[in-house]
Amino acid sequence: MTTTTTPVTGAINSEWTKFWSVRTTWWSLVSAAVLMLFYAVVVGFSVAYDSEPGMSAAGVVAGGTFYLSQFAVIALSTLFITSEYASGSIRATLQWVPIRNRLLLAKGAVLVPILFVFGVVVAGAGLLVAGLTMQGNAGPMSAGGAVVAMLGLGVYFALLGLLCLGIGTALRSTAGSMVVVFVLLLMLPMVVASLGAEDAVNFFPGFAGVNAMLLPGDLNPIFGGPLPYPPWVGALICAAWSGVALLIGSQVLRKRDA
C-alpha cells in the first residue's frame, strides 16, 4: 500500500474522481457554455442592428452570466453535495473521509479551480461571439476590460460554487438549496430594491458577481446604471457570502448525524 498520500490530498483526489464520473457534471458545464453563447449571439445581433451604439462585449457576458449561464453552475455545485444526501452515498463518503471539515475542504478544492478555469473560458468565448455579432456597433471595451470580464467570471463561478456547496451542505435537499440560492441571487435583491433601497442590491452575491466582471465606466447590464465599486470589491462581497454559507454548512455537517 502506498503511504505517500496524505488524507487531505486523498480526499481531494477522491472528490475529483467523483466530480468527473457523473453525467450531471458534463451536462451542466455544456449547458452553462451553450447558454452563454446563445445569449451573446441574441444580444449581439440585437445590438448590431440597433441605431445607437450598444453595450460592451463585457456587458453582454455579464448579462449572459446573470440571466442564464449561472443557473447551470448553481445546479452543478448544489448537486455536488445534495446528490450525496439524495442517494445516501454521503454515508459511504464519510466512511472514506471521516473528518467532516476535510470533506467540505476537498469538495471546495475541487470546485474552485474547475469553475474558475471554466468561467475564464466561457467568458472568453462569450466576448469573442459578442464582439463578432455586434460588429461595429459594440460599446467600447479596453483589453483590460476583457481581462477583467474573464477573471471576474472565473472568480464569480468559483465563489458561486462555494456558496451553493455551503448552502447545500447546510440544507441537504437539492430543491430547498436551489430555492435559497435563487432567492438570494434574484428575489431578495428585487424585494429590497422595490422597498427603495436600490443601492443595496449591489451587496447581494449575484449583483456583486456581475459587478466583479466590469470596470468603472461600463454600464451595469441589469440596471443600466453606473457601477458602485471596482471589480475587486464585488469579488470580496461574493467571497464573504460564500464564506458565511460554508461556515453554516460546516457547523451542520459536524454536528448532525450523517
Partner 1 sequence: MITLRGLTKRYGEKTVVDDLSFAIPAGKVTGFLGPNGAGKSTTMRMVLGLDRPTAGEVVVDGKPYAELRHPLREVGALLEAKALHPGRSAGKHLLAMARSNGIPASRVDEVLATVGLSDVAGKRAGQFSLGMGQRLGIAGALLGDPRVLMFDEPVNGLDPDGVRWVRQLMRSLAAEGRTVFVSSHLMSEMQQTADRLVVIGKGKLLADAPVDEFIADNSRGSVSVRLPSPDDVVTLTQRLHVEGATVEQTDDGEVVVHGMSAERVGDLAHEMEIRLHRLAERTASLEQAYMELTASSVEYGTVAA
DSSP-derived secondary structure for the chain: ----S-HHHHHHHHHHHHHHTSHHHHHHHHHHHHHHHHHHHHHHHHHHTSSS----HHHHHHHHIIIIIHHHHHHHHHHHHHHHHHHSTHHHHHHHS-SHHHHHHHHHHHHHHHHHHHHHHHHHHHHHHHHHHHGGGPPP--HHHHHHHHHHHHHHHHHHHHHHHHHHHHH--HHHHHHHHHIIIIIHHHHHHHTT-GGGGGGSHHHHHHHTT--BTBBPTTT-SB-SS-HHHHHHHHHHHHHHHHHHHHHHHHHS--
If binding is defined by CB under 8 A, does position 143 make contact with partner 1?
no
Residue 171: CB minimum distance to partner 1, A? 19
Site for partner 1 in 84-103 (CB under 8 A): 84, 87-92, 94-99
Residue 77: CB minimum distance to partner 1, A? 16
Rank residues 110 and 185 by Cβ distance to partner 1 and give the closer one.
Answer: 110
If binding is defined by CB under 8 A, does position 24 make contact with partner 1?
yes
Residue 153: CB minimum distance to partner 1, A? 28
If binding is defined by CB under 8 A, does position 10 make contact with partner 1?
yes
Rank residues 23 and 136 by Cβ distance to partner 1 and give the closer one.
Answer: 23
Residue 161: CB minimum distance to partner 1, A? 19
Q: Which residues bind partner 1 (CB under 8 A)?
A: 1-7, 10-11, 13-18, 21-24, 83-84, 87-92, 94-99, 257-258
